[in-house]
Every structure is written in structure tokens, then in C-alpha cells.
Amino acid sequence: MSSTLGTTLVLGALLAAAFGAVVGIEGGLRHRAGALKIVLGAVTAFLLCMLGANLTMVHALVTHDFSVHYVAQVGSRATPLVYTVVSLWSALEGSILFWGAILAVYVFAFARAHRNDPPTNPLLALGTMLAVGVFFAFLIAGPANPFGRVSPVPPDGPGPNPLLQNHVLMVIHPPMLYLGYVGMVVPFGIAVAALLRGQLGDAWMATLRRWTLIPWTFLSVGIVLGSWWAYAVLGWGGYWAWDPVENASFLPWLTGTAFLHSAMVQERRHTLKLWTVSLSLASFLLTILGTFMTRSGVFNSVHSFTQSEIGPTFLVFLGAVLVVSIVLIAVRGPLLVPEGNLGGVASRETSILLNNLVFAALTFTVLLGTVFPLVREAFSGVRISVGAPYFNRMAVPLGIAILFLMGVGPSLPWGRASPETVKRQFLVPAAVGVAVVIVCLAAGLTGGLALLTFGLAGFAATVTLREMALPVRVRMREQGEPLLQALYRSATRARRRFGGYVVHLGVVMVFVAVAASQSYVVHTTATLKPGERFQLGPYSVQLVGLRNGTEPHRRWIAAELQVTDGRGRPHPLAPRMNFYERSTDPIGSPAIRSAAFQDLYLTLLAFDQSPPSASFNAWIFPMVGWIWWSLPLFVFGALFAAWPERRRVRTGAADRLPVSKEAPSPGAAA
């Protein structure tokens, strides 16, 4: 029953997407206004079919219908309800099905938001997005069909991967990443529409920018949550290993970030159009490459997913998208003529250009290190990988350059800055940066790279805070507004500017946290009998004893520890090992004592019950928590910037104005 219904719905989605794609692109190229209504219908049908297919799968999972192939693969009667629902995206086929639903929601949201626009652009964009939808629906219907029938019907299944049901972060981290990945389809559609039409007006550029900011935000959150999950669950004490799967999510984030910056130059100076559009195409290509790398089993990575049949299909799609992108850029790109010039050397636009080059260089080096092993293996059959030292050595200088530019860019005005302006703008922030380094040295910190990072972080943070404070001060002085009112008004009058600076502060936090946690880590291992203790930094760790426990889907053994911090306060901690009924391997849960400036991180390595003893890995990671505490800044800043401005909410005649007449966004008032 579920199998038939699900397969039917997927085929319906395939038909709706194919129909809408053809009508949309054809209608857009011929400027048929009436076609938009038909495409909107196709989009709605696509959404309903995809949502229906997903609900069918969730229903099959919750009712333990093991006749459905995917349920038999990941379902289990012993799994708690929330993890049963979550197992929709815990393995390959289900996650692709879930992607289809997200794609449909994005396309539908875009269609709703632009249904009253002049129809040509939305038609081309929706047609392109639905063409991508055809691919995903085909994938679900064919090579990665989760609705296959199993016979004979097994009485029970193995349950989802225990690693994936060990932490609540697993419930939110993958959807966030998927929302980021799949959302890049929308800017891709918008950019392809601009290229097909051969023009990129201000209004369409604003559309492109907004619809890039949304997936970019999800991607940022997904990446940070992923590193948090790795840290809190995997128990190796790290959060980022330059694993191909991690790189896969990092690459589109890099090009997306570069896009968000170059879009500002595009908006202010009407130049870098082709470059900006190319970044949108690249972001989408990199998400497809990322999907291919994560989901096809080409990498024997720490995240290894099952070998599957979808690899070749994805490769063909990737090749097709690449060829279409290159042809579009080559043939239609010259039509996107720059209408302005870049300013002088010391200017906002030059520093953003530099920022873009650094981001491009970083994308290139990470991509090279990630893909090179695949290429080498394909040609010579030698299996190799590129070690983390390569990534660190390449990424650290480029990251430091980005941190530096983050302080330089906002300090410089658009156009051209006189030497006096430059001097005036940089004196105080540079002094703060130097002061930070001196304070760190006085505190006994060593390590050139870490100190450089701290100094530049002080510099960039000072610039950012000053740029946020300046308009507030002007309002207070000239309009006589009280502080909070001035802050609120200056922020809401230039939403993107303010939101962008909030995100910058979050990025500074991440930089500081990464530098500190990498440079000043303390590590030891120890084996204890009950009553024995070891010392690590200010912490004294004493083993109380071993304890067993049973939960419906797992049993566990915990080592109860009494940890005493430097001030003599006790903290009970209990790193555990979990034993899942349906999995043969025990999965550990590290115990983490988080404080404002350092984490104590304990994992249970091994234990013996008679006589009782246990071995531990223990680390102190300074400031590591700041990486995830930056999340509110990312989310708040991005939401604040993406929040619709009042003049945009208007419907009716204003929206039908010709593209070029649109007033510049108030966010531009820098």
C-alpha cells in the first residue's frame, strides 16, 4: 500500500516538474505572460506530490511497515518515536526523498513571492528550478527509490545508525544542511534566468541576493551544528577534520559568502555582474558536487555512506549542469555589461574584490585537496587522500587574510579614500589590535599564529563595533534620540548593513575560538581504579565507580567521575559507552564540562568490571564553545538582514514597474 502510493506520488512529481520546466523555459524565452499561471500550477502539483510522498514514508516508518524497502533498512520497533521520524533522513534513499520535499517547498515559496512580478524572469527561473526537480524526482523514482517492496516482510528492522540517534543535534543538523544545499537551487535558477535573458537589472539582482542569503544562513547553521555534533558525539576531541563530507558543505558556503560580498559591489557600482552571477552558478555546482561526494560512496571517509547506484547518475547531472553553466557564461555572459567602474585602490570595492579573490583561492585549494584523490584514483587506480596538514597550511594564511580584510573593508568608503581618511580610520582599530597582542603576551601566551589571529580579531571587532556605533551616535546627536531608539532606527534603516556586521562579529568569535582551541589544548590519558584521581590543568578527576543502565533502545555503562575545578567546586561527570540492541559496536558519549573560557572533555576509552577500572582520554580545549555560541549572532544577523523591508511588502502596481525603475534598497545607505 505505502509502496504503491509513494511510487505513484513520486512519478506525479516527476511529471509535474517536467511539464512545468518545459512550459516555464519555453514561455520565458518567448515572453508568454500567460504561461506563469500554468507553471504555478505545476509547482503546486510538484509540492503536493513531494510532500505526499514524504508523509507516506513517515507514515510507513511510524507504523513499522517493513514491506517498504527503506523502512526495512532503517526502521526498528525499539527506536523511540522521534528518532523513527528522523530516520527519514538518516540514510541515503530517505534523505534524497526529503531533499525532494525541501526543493519543492523552496520552488513553491519562490513562485508565491514572485507571482506578481513581470513574468519573464520568474518563468525562466522556475523552469530552471523545476528542471533540477526533474532530476531529483527521477533519482527518487529510479536509482534511489525508497519505496521498493520487500518480500518476505521482515518482522523487525535494524534501526537507524546508532551514531545518528545518540544526540539531539542529529535531529536538527541534517535538515539545516539540506535546507542550505537545496536552497542553492533558487539562486541558480535566478542566475540562469538572468543569463538566458542577457540582462541583470537591480530588482532581479536584489531577488538573487535575498534568495542566496536564505540558504547561506541555513548552510552556516548546518556547518556549525555539524562541528558541534562531531565534538559532542564522536569523542575524538575535535570538531573539524577536513573530511570530504565536511568540505562538501564548506565549499558552497565559501562561494556563497563571496557572492554576498560581491553583490554589494554589483549594487553600488553596477560592475562585477558576470563574476557575481558566476558565483551563484558555482555555489549550486558545488552543492551538487557535495551531494555526489556525500551520497554516492566515492569517498571512504570517516562518514562513509553505503555504496550506491546513484553515483553515475549524479555524475551525469553534475556534468550537464557544468556544461550548461559554462555555455551560458560564454554565450550570454558578455551581455551583462558593467555599467560602472571600480573605485580607487583604497576603497570599499577594492577590499571586497580582494576578499572575493581570497575566497576564490580558498575554494580552489579546498576543492583541489578534496577532489584530487578522486581524479588520481580514476586515472591511475592508486587510492590516496590529501592529509589535513595540506588543508591547514593552505587555509590558515588565507583565513588570516580574510580576518584582516574584514577589518579593512568596512573602514574604507566607497569610491576613493584619501590618505588622511585611511590614517584616521585605521589608527584606533590598529592600536586595539596591538594592545590585544601585548595583553596576550603579558598573560604568557605564545604561538605566533594564535597571537596574530587575536590581534587581527581585536582590529576587526573594533572596526565592526565602530561602524555599528557611528550611525547611532549621529542620530543621538542630530535628532536628539535616546540611545535605544537611535540604535533601533539606525539598525532597521540599514538592515543588511547592521545584520552583516552582526554576522562579522560571529565570524570573529569563530576565528578566536578556533585559534585558541587549536593552539592551547592540553591532553592526557589515564587509567583509574575507584578512588584514584588524576590532574589535568586546574581540574582534578576522581573515579567514583562504574554504573550500568538500561533504556528501551540501548544499554549503557558510565564511569562516574567527581571532577573538582580550580576553585574547589565539584562537578559530577559521567562519560558513557552505549550498546544498541541492533548494532554490534558500542558507541561512546563523551562527558563535557563547559565553562566560559574552556571545556574539560572526557571520554571513556575502556573499562573492566572485575576488578573495576577505567581508562580515559582527557582534554582541555580553551574557548572551543565560542564556535557554537557564535550561532545566535549568525542567525540573528542573517535574519535581520533578510527581513523584508516595508517597501517590498507592497503589492500591486508598484511591483509591476519596469525593472530598472526600482528605488535602490535603503540597505545600501552605508
Partner 1 sequence: MTSATRNRFIAIGALLVAGAALAFIAFGNMGKNLVFYWTPGEMLAQGTKAYGPTIRLGGVVQPGSLHWDAAHTHLSFRVADSDTSGAPSVLVQASETPPQMFRERIGVVVEGTFDRSQTFTSNRLMVNHSNEYRPPKPGDGPDQWKATVSAPTAEAR
Residues in touch with partner 1 (CB under 8 A): 91-92, 158, 161, 163, 234-236, 300, 302-306, 357, 361, 364-365, 368-369, 372-373, 382-387, 389-390, 393-394, 525, 527, 548, 555-557, 575, 577, 579, 581-588, 590, 603-609, 613, 615, 617
Minimum CB separation from partner 1 for residue 586, in Å? 6
**Minimum gap (Å) between residue 389 Cβ and partner 1:** 5
CB within 8 A of 35, min separation 6: which ones?
A: 23, 24, 26, 27, 28, 119, 123
Q: Which is nearer to partner 1, 63 or 548 (CB)?
A: 548
| 3-state SS assignment for residue 94 | helix
> Rounded to an integer, what is the distance from CA 41 to the centroid of its chain?
31
C-alpha cell at position 342? 571600480
Residue 250's closest CA among 343, 181, 352, 345? 181
Q: Which of 639, 641, 623, 594 is nearest to 509 (CA)?
A: 623
CB-nearer residue toward partner 1: 336 or 605:
605
Cell of 195: 543569463
Burial readout 195-229 (b: 16 or more C-beta within 10 A, e: otherwise):
bbbebbbbbbbbbbbbbbbbbbbbbbbbbbbbbbb
> Phi and psi of 66, rounded to 5°?
-75, 5
- Secondary structure (3-state) at 450: helix
In angstroms, the CA 15 to CA 141 distance is 11
Kindly state the smallest distance separating residue 401's Cβ from partner 1, in Å.
12
Residue with Cβ nearer partner 1 (247 or 425): 247
**With respect to partner 1, which residue has the nearer C-beta, 485 or 583?**
583
Q: Which is nearer to partner 1, 541 or 577 (CB)?
A: 577
**Which of residues 121 and 166 has its CB atom nearest to partner 1 in the complex?**
166
* Residue 124 Cβ vs partner 1, minimum distance, rounded to whole Å: 31
Q: How far is the CB of 350 from partner 1 (least distance, A)?
A: 11
CA distances from 430 to 422, 463, 535 (A): 12, 9, 40
User: Least distance from C-beta 140 to partner 1, angstroms?
Assistant: 18
Other C-beta atoms within 10 Å of 669: how many?
A: 12
**Closest distance to partner 1 from the beta carbon of 422 (Å):** 21
Pure H helices in 142-242: 169-183, 185-197, 202-229
| Minimum CB–partner distance for residue 2 and partner 1 (Å) | 22
The answer to whether 167 touches 87, Cβ cutoff 8 Å, is: no
Minimum distance from residue 668 beta carbon to partner 1 (Å): 25
Judged by beta carbon, residue 414 or residue 607, the one nearer partner 1 is 607
Closest Cα to residue 2, out of 10, 98, 12? 10
Angle made by CA atoms 564, 568, 570, in degrees to the nearest 5: 45
Of 90, 91, 111, 102, nearest to 54 by C-alpha is: 102
| Least distance in angstroms from the C-beta of 525 to partner 1 | 5
Nearest alpha-carbon partner for 255 in 291, 215, 301: 215
Distance from C-alpha of 402 to C-alpha of 512, rounded to nearest angstrom: 13
Give the bridge partners for 601, in sequence order: 592, 619
Query: DSSP assignment, residue 443?
Result: T
Beta bridge partners of 549: 556
DSSP state of 198: T
Q: Are 274 and 336 in contact (CB under 8 A)?
A: yes
Pick the closer one to partner 1 by CB: 367 or 412: 367
Q: Smaller CB distance to partner 1: residue 129 or 558?
A: 558
**Given the complex with partner 1, which of 562 and 615 has the nearer CB atom?**
615
Q: How far is the CB of 585 from partner 1 (least distance, A)?
A: 6
For partner 1, the closer CB: 387 or 538: 387
